[in-house]
């Protein structure tokens, strides 16, 4: 396979960006080799700078549920951008995307658009702290919630630990309010609540943890978290940035039929453009500025081009049988992988 152009581009990129990339996972360190520089994509396929064609199983790490350069999404982006790309004032497109989401998701009543998943989660945590007037947050080992300071923590060795920073540049003082426990351990959560009675603002979880392999949780466990949060007046945050609009239009909340207090979305919601959001009840959302005292803002929040891309993509997701078709395709892929593995095993023995 020809790699000259990608390699030359990477050499140049290394003098421009740390590690030659603008997000660490793109450096290929965990898979070896040097990054492919992508020229274009269409549907399930991408082409690199050397003209090699690939089937893309990455899908930009989640956002591209319709594949690359979907005609409807591309048309919507073109139409929107011709009218201007940002105004710093509201547009009808923000209403349209919000309506599309809220009408089809009974777990949230109001939302705020931001520009990334990290920003969505960071804001959701601030909201939980502002609403409960408590400082501590509880997260789980193995769940990823973006790169904001208080979430860049790894668990220590005890059952209930205060986070150790997992990144240089994050002060201990910041992560001292982050409690980390292992997934699927009711005892650890109970112990944390006993130890920090009336101090925990929120419990945050990826309800379908998908950033460290797929760590499916039991519905009973998620329900346990719901109940213990309710008992302790702690908010439950479902971080659905990666699983949202993927297991169904109303995400894991809908899949498990569990009502979290705050939900975050990202990735698919923007049709491949930078969009995130957090949503909650009317009451909790009323804490957000300018209605309430919790400040949160963004120059490009609700950006019209990004809104248009999101509307186009989510409109496709809402069409009849969209998720059944996706399930059928996924099953086909899985079955084929397993049958190939089996035939490999047979030919080995």
Q: In this chain, which of 235, 236, 241, 294 binds ligand PLP, going by CB under 6 A?
A: 241
Closest CA to 49 of 63, 39, 58: 39
Rounded Cα distance between 105 and 321, Å, is: 17
Q: Is the peptide bond before 290 cis (omega within 30 degrees of 0)?
A: yes
Residues 68-107 that bind ligand PLP (CB under 6 A): none
Q: Is 117 in the site for ligand PLP (CB under 6 A)?
A: yes
For 17-153, where are the alpha helices, taking DSSP H only?
71-81, 92-103, 117-132
Cβ nearer to ligand PLP, comparing 91 with 211: 211
Cβ nearer to ligand PLP, comparing 176 with 211: 211
Cβ nearer to ligand PLP, comparing 213 with 320: 213
Per CB under 6 A, the segment of 140-148, 253-261, 291-299, 317-325 that binds ligand PLP is: 140-148
Nearest distance from residue 140's CB to ligand PLP, in Å? 11
Per CB under 6 A, the segment of 2-10, 80-88, 113-121, 134-142 that binds ligand PLP is: 113-121
Q: In this chain, which of 41, 59, 146, 248 binds ligand PLP, going by CB under 6 A?
A: 146
In 213-338, the DSSP E strands lie at 235-239, 262-265, 276-280
Q: Active-site residue 267, yes or no?
A: yes
Rounded Cα distance between 182 and 229, Å, is: 17
- For 112, list phi and psi in degrees, rounded to 5: -135, 130
Q: In this chain, which of 206, 229, 245, 284 binds ligand PLP, going by CB under 6 A?
A: 206
Residue 215 corresponds to which tokens in the numbers above?
Answer: 């760590």
Rounded Cα distance between 227 and 38, Å, is: 46
Per CB under 6 A, the segment of 91-99, 154-162, 217-225, 235-243 that binds ligand PLP is: 235-243
Number of residues that bind ligand PLP (CB under 6 A): 14
Nearest distance from residue 339's CB to ligand PLP, in Å? 30
Q: Active-site residue 221, yes or no?
A: no
Task: Tell me how crowded residue 269 is: count the other CB atoms within 10 A of its CB.
Answer: 28
131, 139, 267, 278: the active-site residue: 267
107, 144, 256, 265: the active-site residue: 144
List, as one string, the DSSP characters of 156-211. -SSSSEEPEESSTT--HHHHTTEEEE-TT-HHHHHHHHHHTTTTEEEEEE-SS--S
Q: In this chain, which of 211, 259, 281, 315 binds ligand PLP, going by CB under 6 A?
A: 211
Rounded Cα distance between 260 and 242, Å, is: 16
Residue 159 corresponds to which tokens in the numbers above?
Answer: 């059952």
Q: In this chain, which of 10, 113, 144, 278 binds ligand PLP, going by CB under 6 A?
A: 144
DSSP-derived 3-state class of residue 322? helix
Nearest distance from residue 60's CB to ligand PLP, in Å? 10
Q: Is 65 in the site for ligand PLP (CB under 6 A)?
A: no
Cβ nearer to ligand PLP, comparing 93 with 269: 269
Q: In this chain, which of 56, 94, 141, 239 binds ligand PLP, going by CB under 6 A?
A: 239
Region for 321 from its dihedrals, namely left if φ exceeds 0, alpha if ψ lies in -120 to 50, beta otherwise: left
Residue 10 corresponds to which tokens in the numbers above?
Answer: 């990477």
Q: Is 145 in the site for ligand PLP (CB under 6 A)?
A: yes
Rounded Cα distance between 105 and 99, Å, is: 10
Q: Active-site residue 5, yes or no?
A: no
Residue 310 corresponds to which tokens in the numbers above?
Answer: 């999101």
Question: Packing angle between helix 304-317 and helix 92-103, nearest 10 degrees?
Answer: 30
239, 250, 261, 265: the active-site residue: 239
Cβ nearer to ligand PLP, comparing 276 with 304: 276
Q: Is 266 in the site for ligand PLP (CB under 6 A)?
A: yes
Residues marked as catalytic? 144, 239, 267
Which residues form the interface with ligand PLP (CB under 6 A)?
116-118, 121, 144-146, 206, 211, 239, 241-242, 266, 276
């Amino acid at each position: 396979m020809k790699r000259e152009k990608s390699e030359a581009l990477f050499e140049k990129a290394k003098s421009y960006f740390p590690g030659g990339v603008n997000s660490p996972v793109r450096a290929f360190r965990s898979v070896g080799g040097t990054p492919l520089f992508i020229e274009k994509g269409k549907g399930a396929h991408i082409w690199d700078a050397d003209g090699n064609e690939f089937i893309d199983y990455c899908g930009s790490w989640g956002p591209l549920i319709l594949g690359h350069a979907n005609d409807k999404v591309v048309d919507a982006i073109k139409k929107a951008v011709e009218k201007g790309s940002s105004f710093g004032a509201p547009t009808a497109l923000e209403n349209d995307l919000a309506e599309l989401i809220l009408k089809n998701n009974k777990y949230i009543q109001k939302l705020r658009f931001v520009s990334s998943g990290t920003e969505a989660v960071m804001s959701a945590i601030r909201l939980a702290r502002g609403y409960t007037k408590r400082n501590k947050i509880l997260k789980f080992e193995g769940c990823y919630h973006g790169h904001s300071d208080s979430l860049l923590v790894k668990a220590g060795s005890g059952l209930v630990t205060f986070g150790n920073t997992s990144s240089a540049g994050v002060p201990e003082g910041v992560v001292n309010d982050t409690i980390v426990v292992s997934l699927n351990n009711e005892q650890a959560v109970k112990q944390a609540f006993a130890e920090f009675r009336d101090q925990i603002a929120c419990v945050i979880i990826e309800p379908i943890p998908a950033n460290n392999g797929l760590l499916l949780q039991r519905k009973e466990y998620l329900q346990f978290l719901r109940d213990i949060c309710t008992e302790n007046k702690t908010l439950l945050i479902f971080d659905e940035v990666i699983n949202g609009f993927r297991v169904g239009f109303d995400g894991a909340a809908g899949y498990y039929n569990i009502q979290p207090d705050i939900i975050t979305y990202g990735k698919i919601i923007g049709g491949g453009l930078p969009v995130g959001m957090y949503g909650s009840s009317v009451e909790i959302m009323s804490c957000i500025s300018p209605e309430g005292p919790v400040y949160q803002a963004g120059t490009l929040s609700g950006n019209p081009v990004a809104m248009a891309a999101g509307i186009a993509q989510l409109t496709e997701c809402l069409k009849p049988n969209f998720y059944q078709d996706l399930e059928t395709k996924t099953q086909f892929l899985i079955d084929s992988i397993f049958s190939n593995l089996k035939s490999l095993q047979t030919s080995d023995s």
